[in-house]
Structure 1
Amino acid sequence: MTVHHPQTPQFFLTSPSPCPYLQGRAERKVFTHLLGERAPALLDLLSQGGFRRSQNIAYRPACERCRACVSVRILVDEFAPTKSMKRVRSRNRDLVARMSAPNPTSEQYSLFRRYIDHRHAKGGMAEMSVLDYAMMVEDSQVDTRLIEYRRRGPDSRFSAASDGELVAVALSDVMADGMSMVYSFFDPFEDDRSLGTQMILDHVEQTKKLGLSYLYLGYWVEGSKKMDYKIRFQPQEHLTPKGWERYEG
């Protein structure tokens, strides 16, 4: 008989489901629960092995005949923005980023709904209610931060209340060696701003300020247009069968 220590994580495997990135393929995930005081240390360890967090679950792909999902992390101390990234930063000089505890608001949910309805209306998050959204933000037993990006008000230096409209939100974890972008969304009608790129650039700076080495971006899938943007942030490391290896494509 197998006896499990009460604090030993148990891993489970999902049933096959359609792959959201590569047409005609199926995906499976292996997952475990992040619970109790050991959750932060467990997430640190699992992140080294390519796991991601969603609420109190850590998961990673476990597809039988496919290894297309590659874990990616940016080397923040060596990162230098490209000319196009510098232009994105310049276009967003009027934004103020404020990091706080993960507290959901109706304003965030309105922006989230606008983003999902415009960009991912047929995706798995399309049916999320305001309660589902609140659970996504709050349900964490690790060090999770919420970063709001607002238009700069005339007196932003002196009062957060002077900041204007909310245009983007990121939910991110702080781990022992870096930050991990768990989920982000933005105003889909602000295309000229390239807000997805702006949030990653800001997270590189936030990670540096915390004295950490890596910004974890999740999975890059070669051949998936949804994931092409991740490869632009270099230098970066990819998780291979030999461990984390430097990639400069």
Structure 2
Amino acid sequence: MRHTLPIAPQFYVTAPQPCPYLEGRMERKLFTALQGDMATKLNDALSKQGFRRSQNVLYRPSCAECSACMSARIDVSKFSPGRSQRRILKRAGHLARRATSPWATEEQYALFREYLDGRHATGGMADMDMFEFAAMVEETPIRSRLIEYNEGAALRAVCLTDILDDGLSMVYSFFEPTLERLSLGTYIILDHIAIAQELDLPYVYLGYWVPGSPKMDYKAKFKGLEVYRNGAWNPLGDPSAYDADVHPLSTDPIAEQVARINLPDGRS
């Protein structure tokens, strides 16, 4: 007997676990599988509603008493580099960009391990082996690319990037951690803005911005940044106007959140 996947995606919630951004808090995610013929349209639609992709899963934070995490994207038409960003473009402008298929290599994994050991030695990916790295890169049911940045023959930075119908989504990036002078993390974002301009795409999706999390401060430095909050995208404005206070009524019940999700066929 032949079975088919349900027409509407099914949504689930993860068990609470320690938040990687704000100490002493617990995070929870709302997620759904990304598969089948509608994968691309589903990814496009849910990315516009604050979801992110990880392999064949789409997720967004849905914590019980906290709504600090907000999906962030840059409106390319409103971006202009600041003085420090222009210096970064000049210092790292000699790097050669190369877009490839999402296929993992040992050279990429070696750089990935160096990045984790230097920047995130205690993070959730710290123990990721080559097979898990390959799964992170290669298990994509949509249009994805690996953007590599080389200095001569040396690989210096990599970004796994999804191509959406309205922009580029930077799924995960890593780089040589000792080259602090080049500010490679910022340079990768600046170059993705340039790619979006080349492709006439309006947005670059950066993942989540979290007020009160020092590791997220750099995102607020990009002009044209928007955050997804209360069901809509709005300019970030003054970052200091946001807080990360916990309140039992700061998030809606899961059933209400799911009911408001707009699916590709126009249904909720």
SS at match of 1:59: strand
CA distance in 1, matches of 2:226, 2:27: 24
Is contact 1:234-1:248 (8 Å) kept? no
Moved over 3 A (4+): none
CA distance in 1, matches of 2:26, 2:168: 29
Cα distance, 1:54 vs. partner? 0.4
User: 1:14-163 to 2 correspondence within 5 Å?
Assistant: 14-151=14-151, 163=152
Query: Identity over the aligned pairs, expressed in percent?
Result: 51
SS at match of 1:50: coil
* TM score, norm. by length of structure 2: 0.86
Structure 1 partner of 2:237: 248
* TM score, norm. by length of structure 1: 0.92
CA distance in 1, matches of 2:154, 2:67: 41
Structure 2 partner of 1:160: none
Is contact 2:56-2:140 (8 Å) kept? yes
Does 2:204 correspond to 1:215? yes
Q: Deviations over 1:133-173 (max 9, x none)?
A: 1110000001101000001xxxxxxxxxxx42000000010
Cα distance, 1:242 vs. partner? 4.7
Structure 2 partner of 1:168: 157
CA distance in 2, matches of 1:80, 1:164: 31
CA distance in 1, matches of 2:128, 2:49: 29
Does 2:216 correspond to 1:227? yes
Is contact 1:19-1:26 (8 Å) kept? yes
SS at match of 2:131: helix
CA distance in 2, matches of 1:87, 1:102: 30
CA distance in 2, matches of 1:231, 1:60: 20
SS at match of 2:42: helix
Which amino acid counterpart does residue 164 of structure 2 have in structure 1? M
Structure 2 partner of 1:183: 172
Segments of 5+ residues of structure 1 without an aligned counterpart are 152-162
Q: CA RMSD in A?
A: 1.2
Aligned length: 235
Residues 5 and 126 from structure 1, CA distance in 2 versus in 1: closer, same or farther, beyond 3 angstroms? closer
Is contact 2:49-2:231 (8 Å) kept? no
Which amino acid counterpart does residue 124 of structure 1 have in structure 2? G
